[in-house]
C-alpha cells in the first residue's frame, strides 16, 4: 500500500461532502466541528468548493462531489481530507473518480459509514485510507470531543509509527440522538452508556493480517461494481464490519453473513472484528448469528472473532487504516495495529 504523510500541527486539511450535504444545512454543527478540530489538533480547516452547499444541491451533483475530491488531492497545500458526514449517496460518485489522481497524490482520507465507498476507491488505487470519525459526528461532539477520540486521532494521524495496541474505551459510549437541526442541542451532552469491553467469541493464538472492511450496508452497495473486492481478494485479510443507524434487523445480518459464506469470503479471511451496533441493539442476536454461520454451519471454529468493538456508528471510536497490518491476539485478548500507516 502507498502510505500518505502524517499530519503535523498547523497543517491545512479540507472538509468534503461526498454523500449527504448536511454540513451546509446545519452550519452551527459544522462550525463546532471546525472549532474543535482547530483547538484540539491545531489544524487549519478549509472547505472544498462545494462542501457547504445545500443537501439538495449536493444530491443533484455527484460529479461536483467527485471533482471536490480530485481538486483536494491535487492541491499540495491540503494535507488531509476529512468527510463531513456519510449518507447513501457516495455510490453515485464512482463514475467520476480518477484512481490515478488518488494514487499519484496520496493523502489522509478520513470518514466512515457511506464514506466506505470512497475508501474502496483508495484501496483500489493502492493507497491507505482511514476508517474513522467525521466532521459532523466525532469532531462536532456536543460539549466537546471525547478524550478517547482525541487520543485516537493524535495517535493515528499525527505519527509515522505503528499505533500498537488499541485499548477498549472504558469511559462510556453513546449513540443518543439529539436532533442536529435544533441548535440548542449542541450544548447538551449526550448520555453515556457503560462500556462493557470487547467480546472474543472464538479463536486462539496470534493472527496478523491486513485490515479491510467497512459498514455492512455500504459493502452491499459496492457488490458487483468494479470497486468490490472479490472473494479471493479477501484471502488473508482481517475483515472489519459494523452496522449503521438504520439498525439492521438480525435476519438481514444473517442473510449477509450467509452470503459471505456462500461466496467464499469467510473461508478466505484470517479474522473478523465487529463494531458495536447503533444503540447496541441486537448485539446478542448478531453474536449468535456469527457463531451459527461461521462455526456451526461453515465449520470455521478457529477463525478469530471479536465483537462489540469501539468503531462504527457509536461514539467515541478508534480509527482503522485499510490495508495495514492488524493483530488479533486471542490468548491475551488484545487487538493491535502493528504496521505504520503513515510516513514522515
Per residue in 181-231, pLDDT (tens digit) is 999 999 999 999 999 999 999 999 999 999 999 999 999 999 999 999 988
Residues 162 and 29 in one domain: yes
173, part of any domain: no
Residues 59 and 191 in one domain: no
Residues 155 and 203 in one domain: no
Choosing from 166, 194, 212, the residue where a domain stops is: 166
Residues 199 and 73 in one domain: no
Residues 161 and 210 in one domain: no
Q: Which domain holds residue 325?
A: 183-337
> Nearest Cα to 257, choosing from 296, 302, 224, 315?
296
Distances (CA, A) of 96 to 38, 63, 66, 70, 129: 31, 6, 6, 9, 19
Q: What angle do CA 288, 292, 296 make, to 5 degrees?
A: 145
6, part of any domain: no
75, part of any domain: yes
67, part of any domain: yes
Dig out the grid coordinates for 140 from the structure: 462536532
Which SS3 state, helix, strand or coil, does residue 51 take? coil
Pairing mode, if any, of strands 305-309 and 199-202? antiparallel
Residues 146 and 98 in one domain: yes
The CATH number of whichever domain residue 231 belongs to comes to 3.50.30.60
φ/ψ of 66, rounded to 5, equals: -65, -40
> Is 0.85 surpassed by the pTM of this model?
yes
191, part of any domain: yes
Measured from the Cβ of residue 140, the count of other Cβ atoms closer than 10 Å reads: 26
pLDDT digits (tens, 9 = 90+) for 117-157: 999 999 999 999 999 999 999 999 999 999 999 999 999 99
The CATH number of whichever domain residue 133 belongs to comes to 3.40.50.10740
Residues 198 and 301 in one domain: yes
Residues 157 and 112 in one domain: yes
Residues 162 and 191 in one domain: no
pLDDT digits (tens, 9 = 90+) for 1-49: 999 999 999 999 999 999 999 999 999 999 999 999 999 999 999 999 9
Residues 259 and 188 in one domain: yes
As beta bridge partners, residue 305 has 202, 272
50, part of any domain: yes
What's the structural domain count of the chain?
Answer: 2
Residues 122 and 162 in one domain: yes
Residues 158 and 21 in one domain: yes
* 263/145 Cα distance (integer angstroms): 40
pLDDT digits (tens, 9 = 90+) for 36-88: 999 999 999 999 999 999 999 999 999 999 999 999 999 999 999 999 999 99
pLDDT of amino acid 203: 97
Choosing from 136, 166, 196, the residue where a domain stops is: 166
Choosing from 166, 200, 224, the residue where a domain stops is: 166
52, part of any domain: yes
Residue 284: enclosing H or E segment and its boundaries? helix 283-290
Are the C-beta atoms of 154 and 257 separated by less than 8 Å? no
343, part of any domain: no
Amino acid at each position: 500500500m502507498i502510505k500518505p504523510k502524517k499530519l503535523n500541527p498547523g497543517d491545512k486539511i479540507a472538509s468534503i461532502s461526498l454523500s449527504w450535504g448536511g454540513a451546509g444545512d446545519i452550519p452551527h454543527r459544522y462550525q463546532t466541528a471546525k472549532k474543535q478540530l482547530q483547538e484540539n489538533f491545531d489544524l487549519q480547516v478549509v472547505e472544498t468548493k462545494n462542501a457547504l452547499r445545500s443537501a439538495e444541491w449536493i444530491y443533484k451533483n455527484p460529479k461536483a462531489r467527485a471533482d471536490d475530491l480530485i481538486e483536494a488531492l491535487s492541491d499540495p497545500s491540503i494535507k488531509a481530507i476529512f468527510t463531513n458526514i456519510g449518507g447513501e449517496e457516495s455510490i453515485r460518485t464512482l463514475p467520476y473518480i480518477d484512481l490515478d489522481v488518488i494514487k499519484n497524490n496520496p493523502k489522509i482520507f478520513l470518514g466512515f459509514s457511506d464514506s466506505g465507498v470512497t475508501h474502496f476507491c483508495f484501496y483500489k488505487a493502492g493507497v491507505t485510507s482511514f476508517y474513522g470519525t467525521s466532521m459532523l459526528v466525532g469532531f462536532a461532539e456536543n460539549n466537546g470531543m471525547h478524550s478517547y477520540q482525541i487520543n485516537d486521532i493524535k495517535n493515528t494521524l499525527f505519527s509515522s509509527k505503528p499505533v500498537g495496541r488499541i485499548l477498549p474505551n472504558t469511559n462510556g459510549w453513546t449513540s443518543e440522538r439529539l436532533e442536529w437541526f435544533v441548535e440548542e442541542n449542541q450544548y447538551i451532552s449526550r448520555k453515556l452508556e457503560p462500556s462493557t469491553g470487547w467480546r472474543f467469541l472464538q479463536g486462539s493464538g496470534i493472527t496478523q493480517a491486513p485490515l479491510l472492511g467497512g459498514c455492512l450496508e455500504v459493502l452491499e452497495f459496492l457488490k458487483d461494481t468494479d470497486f468490490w473486492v472479490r472473494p479471493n481478494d479477501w484471502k488473508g485479510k482481517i475483515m472489519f464490519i459494523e452496522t449503521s443507524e438504520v439498525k439492521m434487523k438480525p435476519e438481514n445480518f444473517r442473510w449477509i453473513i450467509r452470503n459471505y459464506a456462500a461466496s467464499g469470503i469467510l473461508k478466505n479471511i484470517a479474522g473478523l472484528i465487529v463494531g458495536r451496533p447503533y444503540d447496541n441493539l441486537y448485539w446478542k442476536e448478531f453474536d449468535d448469528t456469527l457463531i451459527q454461520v461461521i462455526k456451526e454451519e461453515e465449520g470455521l471454529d478457529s477463525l478469530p472473532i471479536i465483537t462489540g468493538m469501539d468503531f462504527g456508528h457509536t461514539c467515541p471510536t478508534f480509527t482503522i487504516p485499510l490495508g495495514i497490518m492488524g493483530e488479533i491476539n486471542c490468548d491475551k485478548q488484545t487487538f493491535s495495529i502493528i504496521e505504520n500507516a503513515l510516513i514522515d
